[in-house]
Amino acid sequence: MIDFRFDRAFNLNGFPQHAPTMNMRLSSFLLAGLAATTALAAPKPDYVLEAIAPNLISGFFSAGETPVLKIKSGQVVEVETLALMGLSDDHPEQFFIDHNISLDLPAVKKMIAVKQALKGTGVSSAPLTGPIYVEGASPGDTLEVRILDIKSFTPFGINVGNPGKGGIPDLVPRPYSKVIFFDLERNVAKFGPGIEVPLRQFQGMMAVAPAPERGKLPMRPPYPDIGGNMDNKRLTTGATVYFPVHVDGALFHIGDPHAAQGDGEVSQSAIESSNVVTVQLIVRKDLHIKIVRAETPTHYISIGLDPDLNVAMHSAIAETVQFLQERKQLSFFDALSLASVGVDYEVTEVVDVTKGVHGMIPKSLFKTEEPYWYTPSSG
C-alpha cells in the first residue's frame, strides 16, 4: 500500500518546507482525495498518452517540437514508453519468433506496428514519448515531475553491448545481445540458471526542451539544465525530478524505459524494456533552479554531469554543498564537511558521452523532516 500526499509546500531550492500553501492547480479527483491517507494505486490519470508513431520522437531535443498533448499544471498522465531494440525495420516480428515470444501479446503487436510505422522516419530504437505541453509553464519556472507509478509493459527485456562502447570499450570483442525474461508476479528478471535480478523499473530519459537559441541538442548525452539521458535508477516510482523551464509549456519528454540497471550501466545498456509510466506534472512559479535536482522518500539527490568524470564529481559535490547551505542553512564549511561524512556519491552511468555522478543526501541526517508525498508501505 502506498501513501500519496499532495499537501506540502516548498522552498526555493525545490525541496519541501513548512510554508502556507502550494501555488499549483490539482485536478478535481486529487482535491477530493486529500482527506484520504492511503491509496492502493496511483491516482487515475487525466490522460493516457499511447506509444504510437505520431507521439514518438528521437534524435534531438528542440524548442521547435510540436506538442502531442497539452495539459494543465497538476494533471496526471499515463505514458506508454517503448524500447524497440533488436527489432529490424523490414521484419520486426522475427525478433519475437527467434526468442519464442508470442506474437499475440498486445505489447508485442504494438511494438511490431510501431516499428513498421517508424520505418524510414529516422526515429531510433529508443524513442521518446512526447513532448507534453504544460499550460502556465514559462522560462524561469520549474517543472516538478512526480513519478507516481512505473510498470513493465512487456515480460522481457534486452541487454546489449558493442566493441568501442560501454565502460570497457577496448575489451569487448564482438557485439552481443541477451534477451532476459521476467517473472512479473515475483518482480524479478530471470537472468540465467540460479541468477535473478530484482526488477526496478525506471526511465533512462526525462527532459524538458532547451532554450530556442541553443538549437537542436543531440539526445544521447544528458544535460545538467534540461535532463535527458540521465540513466539514474533512483528515479523510479516515488521519486520527484525538478527541471528548469526554458520554453513556454516546458515540453516534457520521457522514454528509454528500463526494467533494471546497475549504477554505471557499464555494458552500454540496462535491461531495456517497455514501461507504462504515470506522472504528475506541476508548474512551480515559486521555484527557480538552474540544474536538474531530484528527491525520493529517503534522499535528496544532487546531480553532476560532464564528459569528464572528475568534473561531474565536482559538480555533484558543489550542488550538494549549495543545497545544504540553502536548504539547511549550513555554513560553507559545515556543508562541505557533511557532504564528506554523510553523503554517498555514486557513478550514475559512463556510457553516453557525458558521465553522471549523483550525491545521495539521506533525509535521516536531519531530525526535523517534512512529509513527502509518497510513502512506501511496509505491508
User: What's the pLDDT tens digit per position in 81-94?
Assistant: 999 999 999 999 99
**207 vs 243: CA distance, rounded Å:** 8
Question: For residue 368, what pLDDT is reported?
Answer: 86
Name the least confident of 34-48, 233-247, 339-353. Answer: 34-48
The answer, yes or no, to whether residue 229 has pLDDT greater than 90, is yes
Confidence of residue 378 (pLDDT cuts 50, 70, 90): low
pLDDT digits (tens, 9 = 90+) for 305-346: 999 999 999 999 999 999 999 889 999 999 999 999 999 999
Average pLDDT, the chain: 89
Q: Which three cell numbers, joined as nine digits, stand for 83?
A: 524500447
**338 vs 207: CA distance, rounded Å:** 30
Q: Of 14 and 186, which is predicted with more confidence?
A: 186
Q: What is the mean pLDDT of residues 124-150?
A: 96
How many helical (H) and strand (E) elements, i.e. helices and strands, does the chain have? Answer: 5, 26
Q: Which three cell numbers, joined as nine digits, stand for 316?
A: 555533484
Q: Domains in the chain, please, with CATH?
A: 2-287+369-376 (2.60.120.580)
Angle between helices 332-342 and 309-328 (to 10 degrees): 120
Amino acid at 191: F
Q: What proportion of the chain, given as a percentage, has pLDDT over 90?
A: 81
Q: Which three cell numbers, joined as nine digits, stand for 9?
A: 509546500
Q: Which three cell numbers, joined as nine digits, stand for 290?
A: 538552474
Question: For residue 18, what pLDDT is reported?
Answer: 32
The answer, yes or no, to whether residue 144 has pLDDT greater than 50, is yes
205 to 24, 66, 257, 328, 376: CA distances (angstroms)? 25, 19, 8, 30, 24
Confidence of residue 352 (pLDDT cuts 50, 70, 90): confident
Q: Name residues whose C-beta falls within 8 Å of residue 217's C-beta, 6 or more positions apart in sequence.
A: 60, 61, 62, 210, 223, 226, 228
**244 vs 7: CA distance, rounded Å:** 22
Residue 317 burial by Cβ neighbours in a 10 Å radius (0-12, 13-18, 19+): buried
**Could you tell me if 350 and 37 are in contact, meaning their C-beta atoms sit under 8 angstroms apart?**
no
**55 vs 357: CA distance, rounded Å:** 31
Q: Which region holds residue 227: left if phi is over 0, alpha if psi is between -120 and 50, else beta?
A: left
* Most confident of the following: 40-44, 116-120, 194-198, 264-268: 194-198
Q: Where are the beta strands (DSSP E) in 217-370?
A: 217-218, 227-229, 240-244, 252-260, 271-272, 275-284, 293-295, 299-306, 344-352, 354-362
Q: Which residues of 236-249 are buried (b: 16+ CB within 10 A; e: fewer)?
A: bbbbbbbbbbbbbb
Q: What proportion of the chain, given as a percentage, has pLDDT over 70?
A: 89
Task: State the chain's maximal CA–CA distance in angstroms.
Answer: 61
Q: Name residues whose C-beta falls within 8 Å of residue 351's C-beta, 6 or more positions apart in sequence.
A: 165, 166, 167, 231, 265, 266, 267, 268, 269
Question: For residue 41, what pLDDT is reported?
Answer: 65
